[in-house]
Chains A and B, each alone.
Chain A
């Protein structure tokens, strides 16, 4: 699970209203090399919840010097975009779980795949 995906995921346990962002507990994290496409990253940024991304990167210990707030005119800031690229697309959680911040319910991540299936009573 990449952090780009994590940024979209939310807890859908019945009754939960503050299920975003999911907390990450990772036991295995991988960093892959992914081709840097500045345009793609640039287009993704406005669609992200920035603070959730920073928090997630922090949880994984991969935040490095990613700023708490978006820098202005990031579209032209290649250095910045590279940092975002790394955190968004290169860091991957292989094993661990996602935890609903409100209910505490944990969704396992195995072989890079989060299993978000709810039980019948949680739907």
Chain B
């Protein structure tokens, strides 16, 4: 093996074992490439496909080309966005062969990750030299509109200290910061309150910039409204059209501090991604202002043109051709958007997007659900905000539900040996094995979770808690832990209790746990409220573990936000409560403000997104099978120890075959905010795609409410009733003479 390889490529002496592993993985890579429509050549050629060396795995152009150039003169290096491979064409076949010998099966260090590259010859490189996509009509980008000193002055001129919202809460929500001057833009109706100008007009420091805009003929009239947005890496803004009736035609946006990528979308489906460099001015007029939506995908990395003066192939330095891209880490960007308030109705040529001419105000984020009033609506709500969510998050959810709660265990262990137990809503089967003397069977609405039970050797089946296919009076005991609070009407919650009672033999007992509205009880805050340090604390339910010492309640979170960070359109200020029957999204780790709400679940680890990508309808099971296989096989994969740390970045291994197949037809999932991200292949260490957020519906119970529900059942007595770590709990007993 040639010893003169690059600094970031390590040659490793191969044992027979290693060679076997490489052969195996190469075979897997061939299969995968075929899946992508790439056929590998049996004989050496000038061109190679480099599996795992793609923008889609977090490999940047610079890192890969450094390694490739070591082998000889590179004619072309093509890295399609989102693909987990690259194509390289060398000047000579000899160079290609050298690359194959030295780089095949070798690790490449890319930032914090390392990937293992697998090279194969290809006959031809499918380089889609796309025709350059023009910018949306009316859009002008002026680079270097302000110099660095001016940029610094402008950034300093913005006084964030007087913003309404609580800084810590904002940080917790990971919400972009917003400040208005001149007039306030309201996010609840996407319009401006024209009768209430703000005390602060556009800062003086901006006049210089605006005069330049007039001088350069970007505008005729001075703007009177300024919105400042500050985006940290990972933040964005959903696609929208600025409300026609609020503002005149020309809208200008100055980008300071960092560059970003803004995406423009036409109603006909065209997408144009535009890099906005620091200190550039974006001028939107006409179609680009009135018809195309614009948005910034919340990401930490963007794909931008490579600035390498030596770039190969087509040298058009923009995003519109894919052969010249690299990854760029986002910084904190502040945008100053200048607009002129419109005082008369809009008469633009784009009525379909015009609220003055009849169109609904954009952009209509999915309306928050309302509390259902009938079974059908309730079932739909639960389908979207309970069942689909659990199926998507099953694996992650299960990994956070490992410790059985002591008082539930106590109940289970108090049952006589040989008792028949039904666990209705058994989840991952946490309680099915607690008392091995019992004959326990579990059921759950989520097949993904029931699957986990089966894997653990428990007996379980898929069914709804409202209609459990067990014979009446067949159980000595039942438990229903953290289940009934997912039912969205009083009737359904009652029906769930009735079903439990039906299953019980006379004299049998049932234990029910539901989330409590009162997270503090007896001056003891539940662990849910207190624990700020846990990994992804927002995913822990109340009552995770044992109680801790009491603390004075800190009062409610100062931000009652009816939006989640992704849903940027609903920034609500402190005192506004949503009282119109709409369900609000809860801020995790704070006290509950309403009894019916949506609780966010942050899916952890980019890898797990595969499960969330399962399509709808018939294919769902098939893909879930595949995606489940992926996460399982990750654990059992017999990997070369030398490559295991880097394994996350490796697309091309046995386990990833299924992953690729599963991600090929990712569809948006209701109740899940991944709409901003593109359907990309699996990412390494998830820097590129933010973890999606799911919303689960809960009805949290007030003190006495669960007891009352049970009391409505004839022939049932409440044996005990207590508060356990943020839950209201009841043990009920079915009368002997029933």
Q: Which residues of A contact B (CB under 8 A)?
A: 1-2, 4-5, 8-12, 20, 39-40, 43-44, 47, 107, 111-118, 120, 123
A/B interface sample: 25 pairs, CB < 8 A: A8-B441, A8-B471, A8-B474, A9-B470, A10-B471, A39-B417, A39-B418, A43-B417, A47-B418, A47-B420, A47-B439, A111-B451, A112-B454, A113-B447, A113-B450, A113-B451, A113-B454, A113-B461, A114-B462, A115-B462, A116-B443, A117-B462, A117-B464, A118-B464, A123-B467
Q: Of residues A8, A40, A111, A116, which shows the largest number of chain B Cβ atoms within 10 Å of its Cβ?
A: A8
Q: Which residues of B contact A (CB under 8 A)?
A: 376, 379, 417-418, 420, 437, 439, 441, 443, 445, 447, 450-451, 454, 459-464, 466-471, 474
State whether B467 touches A111 (Cβ < 8 A). Answer: no
Interfacial chain B residues near A20, Cβ < 8 Å = 471
Contact (Cβ within 8 A) A8 B464:
no
Please name all residues of chain A whose beta carbon is closer than 8 Å to the beta carbon of B445 when the two chains form the complex. Answer: 117
Consensus secondary structure, chain A interface:
mixed
- Shortest B521–chain A CB gap in Å is 36
The CA of A112 and the CA of B441, in the complex, are separated in Å by 13
> In the complex, what's the smallest C-beta–C-beta distance from B68 to chain A, in angstroms?
45
A44 in contact with B418 given A8-B470, A12-B469, A20-B471 (CB within 8 Å): yes
Nearest CB of A to B424, in Å: 12
- Quick one: which of B379, B420, B462, B474 contacts A113, CB cutoff 8 A? B462
Contact in complex: A118, B441 (CB < 8 Å)? no
Measured in the bound complex, the distance between the Cα atoms of B471 and A2 in whole Å is 16
Contact status B459-A5, CB under 8 Å: yes
Task: Give complex CA distance A37, B284 in Å.
Answer: 77
B interface secondary structure, majority = mixed
Cβ B459 vs Cβ A4 within 8 A:
yes
Contact A9 B464 (CB under 8 A): no
Residue of A nearest to B505 (CB): A47
Interface pair A40/B418, CB less than 8 Å apart? yes
Give Cα distance in the complex from A1 to B76, angstroms: 57
The 3 closest A-B pairs by CB, nearest first: A43-B418, A116-B463, A114-B461
Check B460 against A116 for contact (C-beta < 8 Å): no
Shortest distance between the CB of A121 and any CB in chain B (Å): 12
- B462 / chain A contacts, CB cutoff of 8 Å: 113-117
B492 to chain A, nearest CB (A): 12
| Residue from the list B379, B454, B459, B470 in contact with A111, Cβ < 8 A | B454
Residues of B contacting A112 with CB < 8 Å?
454
Q: What is the CB-to-nearest-CB distance from B71 to chain A, in angstroms, rounded to a whole number?
A: 48
Inter-chain contacts of B437 with A (CB < 8 A): 40
Identify which of A11, A107, A113 gathers the most chain B CB atoms within 10 Å of its CB.
Answer: A113
The interface residues of chain A lying within 8 Å CB-to-CB of B470 are: 8-10
**Cβ contact within 8 Å between B459 and A1:** yes
How far apart are the CA atoms of A12 and B468 in the complex, in Å? Answer: 8
| Residue from A1, A2, A9, A115 in contact with B447 in the complex, judged by beta carbons closer than 8 Å | A115
Tell me, in angstroms, the Cα distance from A47 to B376 when the chains sit together. 37
Least Cβ–Cβ distance between A85 and chain B, in angstroms: 13
Among the listed B439, B441, B466, which residue makes an inter-chain contact with A44, where contact means beta carbons less than 8 Å apart? B439
- Alpha-carbon distance A52/B439, docked complex (angstroms): 18
Nearest CB of B to A122, in Å: 9
8 additional contacts (CB under 8 A) given A2-B459, A39-B418, A115-B462: A4-B439, A5-B461, A12-B469, A20-B471, A107-B469, A113-B450, A113-B460, A116-B443
Q: Which residue of B lies closest to A20 (CB)?
A: B471
In the complex, A113→B379 CA distance in Å?
23
Q: Which residue of B lies closest to A94 (CB)?
A: B454
In the complex, A123→B437 CA distance in Å? 34
B102 to chain A, nearest CB (A): 45
CA distance A8 to B418 in the complex (A): 15
Question: Considering the chains assembled together, what is the distance between the CA atoms of A2 and B453 in angstroms?
Answer: 14
Q: In the complex, what residue of chain A is closest to B472 when comparing beta carbons?
A: A10
Does B420 lie within 8 Å of A9, measured CB to CB? no
Task: List B contacts of A111 (CB < 8 A).
Answer: 451, 454
Q: Which residue of A is nearest B438, CB measured?
A: A40
Q: Is the CB of B417 within 8 A of A40?
A: yes
Q: How far is the CA of A25 from the CA of B589 in the complex (A)?
A: 49
A51 to B428, CA, bound (A): 32
Q: Which of B417, B461, B467 has a CB less than 8 Å from the CB of A9? A: B461
Chain B residue at smallest Cβ distance from A32: B457
Residue ID in chain A nearest B476 by CB atoms: A47
Q: How far is the CA of A79 from the CA of B679 in the complex (A)?
A: 60
Cα–Cα distance between A123 and B445 once the two chains are bound (Å) = 15
Alpha-carbon distance A4/B418, docked complex (angstroms): 12
Q: Which residue of A lies closest to B467 (CB)?
A: A12
For A1, A116, A120, A123, the residue with the greatest tally of chain B CB atoms inside 10 Å of its CB is A116
Inter-chain contacts of B379 with A (CB < 8 A)? 120
Determine whether the beta carbon of B441 is less than 8 Å from that of A5. Answer: yes
| A2 to B458 CA separation, bound complex (whole angstroms) | 10
Cα(A22)–Cα(B82), bound, Å: 50
A54 vs chain B, min Cβ distance (A):
17
Write the nearest CB–CB distance from B510 to chain A, whole angstroms: 16
A40 to B417, CA, bound (A): 8
Tell me, in angstroms, the Cα distance from A90 to B48 when the chains sit together.
54
Complex formed: what's the CA distance from A9 to B468 in Å? 9
A103 to B51 Cα, complex, angstroms: 54
Q: Give the most central of B379, B417, B464, B469: most A CB within 10 Å.
A: B469
Bound form: Cα–Cα A44–B417 in Å = 10
CA distance A1 to B461 in the complex (A): 8
In the complex, what's the smallest C-beta–C-beta distance from A114 to chain B, in angstroms? 4
Residue from A11, A44, A115, A120 in contact with B461 in the complex, judged by beta carbons closer than 8 Å: A115
* Residue numbers in A under 8 Å from B471 (CB-CB): 8, 10, 20
Alpha-carbon separation in the docked complex, A25 to B63 (Å): 58
Residues of B within 8 A of A43 (CB): 417-418
- Contact across chains for B420 and A8 when beta carbons are under 8 A apart: yes
**How distant is the Cα of A47 from the Cα of B437 in the complex, in angstroms?**
14
Min CB distance A69 to B, Å, is: 21
A78 to B314, CA, bound (A): 82
CB distance from B188 to the nearest CB of A (A): 36
Evaluate contact between B459 and A118: CB separation under 8 angstroms.
no
Q: Which single residue of chain B is at the shortest CB-CB distance from A45?
A: B418
**A residues within 8 A CB of B418?**
39-40, 43-44, 47
Q: Say how far B647's CB is from chain A's closest CB, in angstroms.
A: 27
Min CB–CB distance A4 → chain B (angstroms): 6
A22: nearest chain-B partner, CB-CB: B469
Closest-by-CB residue of B relative to A49 is: B471
A107–B461 Cα distance when bound, in Å, is 11
Kindly name the residue among A47, A107, A120 whose own CB sees the greatest number of chain B CB atoms within 10 A. Answer: A47
For A40, the chain B residues whose CB sits under 8 A away are 417-418, 437, 439
B462 to chain A, nearest CB (A): 4
Task: Find chain B residues with CB under 8 A from A1 CB.
Answer: 459, 461
Contact B469 A9 (CB under 8 A): yes
Bound: A12/B379 CA distance, A:
18
Once bound together, how far apart are the Cα atoms of A118 and B443, in whole Å?
Answer: 14
B450 contact set on A, CB distance < 8 A: 113
- Nearest opposing residue in chain B for A43, CB measure: B418
